[in-house]
Amino acid sequence: MEGRAPEDVIEDADDDAIDDTRDDTREDPGDNGQGVRTETLLLALLGDQLLDRGVAVSTSSIIAVLHRLGVGEHATRATVSRMTRRDLLRSVRQGRQVFLGLTPRAVAVLRDGRRRLEAEIVDRDWDGRWTMLAFSVPETRRADRHALRTRLGWAGFARLRSGVWVSPRAADVSRILAELDLLDHAEVFRAEATLWTDPARIAQEAWDLPAIAAGYRRFLDRWSGGASGDASAELDALDDLSRRTRLTAEWLLLIRRDPRLPRALLPAEWPGIRAQELFRSLQSQLVGPAEELAAAGLATIPDAQAPRSSAIV
């Protein structure tokens, strides 16, 4: 895939530094304290309603759905423009009406997100071995170093020591390093913890497990009916299409921060397991009603240029 990797796109979707719509987007106390960005909501909606369907959706339909989620028209149009500039969306005109279609790059991003939505939240078949990556990137290549760290985090790695990153799975980082031209600046090892080294302690040092767990607990409170006040009223007021979009967007933000560690490395009663059960149950309940609302409320046209499944890698 040319251009930036899917993990860089998701990083941008949740990055305050590049978000120019935040003044027109209602902040959400139910996620990890940052709110759900307009682009994250839009990616969730597109993944559900456009991916692999061979259609384009009208801009006005997108504006209407996001409006019900508390996003103003100006914020939606600004986000659509930004995603078009970044080769995630393209305009499809029918008469005087403008529709939005997916680019090959957007399909790759959304397929990657779908795989993560379907994956298990914990690894139950760990062989006890780690992938260790040691690298040193010159100061003159700070942008590449930042990109490497972003992609490693998306791939389930975390920094254990300066220049040493670890993952509890057999992760192939050759593509990431090759795309950034950093193969000559890194070494990769497969290793086991031994002697006094406690694998659980490695996990606790490398990842902020309390913060990840807190995010899952907030998700459980919010979506199991435990939320109170404005948060509860907000969810109750949403129709099923909006609820599905919001639910998927919030879950994507949570799992983006979760390395999906082996069960043996996690604290007892890990809340991510219950949160995933709740997410899947709600998704199952919402898919039918949401599809009915989408069929009635989203104006779509066939998109002859929509990427086909066989073209997606």
258 forms beta bridges with none
3-state secondary structure of 41: helix
Q: Residue 275 contacts by C-beta under 8 Å, 6 or more apart in sequence?
A: 121, 216, 217, 219, 220, 254
Q: Does residue 231 contact residue 29 with C-beta atoms inside 8 Å?
A: yes
- Model confidence at 17, pLDDT cuts 50, 70, 90, reads very low
Q: State the Cα–Cα distance between residues 84 and 76, nearest whole angstrom.
A: 12
Q: Does residue 49 contact residue 294 with C-beta atoms inside 8 Å?
A: yes
Q: State the Cα–Cα distance between residues 200 and 40, nearest whole angstrom.
A: 32
Q: Residue 279 contacts by C-beta under 8 Å, 6 or more apart in sequence?
A: 219, 223, 247, 251
Q: Residue 276 contacts by C-beta under 8 Å, 6 or more apart in sequence?
A: 120, 121
Q: Which residue has the higher pLDDT, 186 or 225?
A: 186
Write down the pLDDT at residue 27.
35
- Nearest CA to 283 out of 226, 241, 311, 230 is that of 241
R_g of the chain, CA atoms, integer Å: 20
- Model confidence at 228, pLDDT cuts 50, 70, 90, reads low
The H-or-E segment that residue 294 falls in is helix 271-297
- Model confidence at 47, pLDDT cuts 50, 70, 90, reads very high
Mean pLDDT, to the nearest integer, of 120-147?
A: 92
- Nearest CA to 29 out of 182, 208, 197, 234 is that of 234
**pLDDT for 304 beyond 90:** no
Write down the pLDDT at residue 168.
93
Write down the pLDDT at residue 232.
65
Q: Do strands 55-58 and 300-302 pair parallel, antiparallel, or not at all (unpaired)?
A: antiparallel
- What order of strands is seen across the sheet that includes strand 89-94? 89-94, 97-102, 55-58, 300-302
Q: Which residue has the higher pLDDT, 6 or 89?
A: 89
- Model confidence at 220, pLDDT cuts 50, 70, 90, reads very high
| Mean pLDDT score across all residues of the chain | 85
Give the percent of the chain with pLDDT over 70.
Answer: 85
192 forms beta bridges with 129
166: left (phi over 0), alpha (psi -120 to 50) or beta: beta
- Model confidence at 11, pLDDT cuts 50, 70, 90, reads very low
Write down the pLDDT at residue 160.
92
**pLDDT for 33 beyond 50:** no
Q: Residue 68 contacts by C-beta under 8 Å, 6 or more apart in sequence?
A: 238, 239, 242
125 forms beta bridges with none
**pLDDT for 310 beyond 60:** no
**pLDDT for 253 beyond 80:** yes
**pLDDT for 195 beyond 70:** yes
Q: Does residue 187 contact residue 133 with C-beta atoms inside 8 Å?
A: yes
Write down the pLDDT at residue 294.
95
161 forms beta bridges with 164
Q: Give per-residue pLDDT as tens, 151-182.
A: 998 888 999 988 899 999 988 999 999 999 99
Q: State the Cα–Cα distance between residues 63 and 248, nearest whole angstrom.
A: 18
**pLDDT for 9 beyond 70:** no
